[in-house]
Amino acid sequence: MNDVLKEFPQLGPTIESFTRSNFQDAERQALALRDESHRLKNRTLESLATGWAGAALTQQSRYQEAMEHLQAAIASLTELGRPDLTARLHNYVAVVYEELGDFDAAFVTYEQALAGARATGQRELEGRILGNIGEAYVNLDRFDEAREPLEQASLLLEDLGEWALQGWVLWAQGRVVQKHGDVDAARDMFVRAIEITDRGLGVRGRAEARVGLGSLYSELGRHDEAIGLLEEALVLAQSVRNRREVFKTHLALSQAYERAGNLEKALENYKAFHQARTEVYDEAARATTHLLKVETELSKERFEREIWRLRNVELATALEHLEEQARQLVRLSVRDGLTGVFNRRHLDEQLPSELARARRTGQPLSVAMIDLDNFKRINDSVGHAVGDKALQAIADVIGSHLRQSDVLARYGGEEFALVFPDTGEEAAAAACERIRAAIETRDWTDISLNLGLTASFGVAQADATCDAGTLLDEADARLYAAKAAGRNRVVASPGQPCEKA
Q: Same structural domain for residues 383 and 462?
A: yes
Assess if residue 181 is contained within a domain: no
CA atoms within 13 A on the CB side of 12: 4
Is the pLDDT at 157 greater than 80? The verdict is: yes
Nearest C-alpha neighbor of 341 from the set 262, 384, 396, 379: 396
Q: What does pLDDT average to over the chain? A: 84
Q: Are 379 and 141 in contact (CB under 8 A)?
A: yes
CB–CB of 397/442 below 8 Å? yes
Q: Do residue 485 and residue 349 come from a single domain?
A: yes
Domain membership flag for residue 448: yes
299 and 379 share one domain: no
> Does residue 463 share a domain with residue 406?
yes
E strand or H helix that includes residue 468: helix 468-484
Of the ranges 61-65, 273-277, 325-329, 448-452, the best mean pLDDT one: 448-452
Residue 304 pLDDT class (50, 70, 90 cuts)? low
Q: Are residues 426 and 404 in the same domain?
A: yes
Cβ count near 69 (within 10 Å)? 27
Residues 302 and 374 in one domain: no
Lowest mean pLDDT among 66-70, 406-410, 416-420: 66-70
Task: Please check whether residue 401 is in contact with residue 435, taking contact to mean a CB–CB distance below 8 angstroms.
Answer: yes
Note the pLDDT tens digit of each residue in 438-495. 999 999 999 888 888 999 999 999 987 788 989 999 999 999 999 999 999 999 976 5
**Number of folded domains in the chain?**
2
DSSP H or E run through 255: helix 243-260
357: in domain: yes
**How far is 462 from 472, CA to CA, in rounded Å?**
10
Q: Is residue 101 part of a domain?
A: no
Residue 263 lies in a domain: no
* Final residue belonging to a domain, choices 334, 357, 378: 334
Q: Confirm whether 443 is domain-assigned.
A: yes
- In a shared domain, residues 356 and 296: no
pLDDT digits (tens, 9 = 90+) for 93-124: 898 888 777 888 889 999 999 999 999 888 98
Tell me which long-range contacts 99-103 makes (C-beta under 8 A, separation of at least 24): 99/58, 99/61, 99/63, 99/244, 99/284, 100/63, 100/284, 100/287, 100/288, 100/291, 101/284, 103/136, 103/140
CATH number at residue 379: 3.30.70.270
Residue 486 lies in a domain: yes
Q: For residue 156, is pLDDT > 80?
A: yes
Q: Are residues 304 and 402 in the same domain?
A: no
- Residue 235 CA to residue 26 CA, distance in Å, equals 20
Enclosing H/E stretch for 383 = none
The parent domain of residue 303 ranges over: 281-334
Distance separating alpha carbons of residues 103 and 95, to the nearest angstrom: 9
Residues 395, 353: one domain? yes
**Of 293, 313, 334, which one is at a domain's C-terminal end?**
334
Q: Are residues 378 and 476 in the same domain?
A: yes
Whether residues 393 and 421 share a domain: the answer is yes
Whether residues 312 and 391 share a domain: the answer is: no
In this structure, is residue 317 part of a structural domain? yes
Least confident segment among 42-51, 383-392, 423-432: 383-392
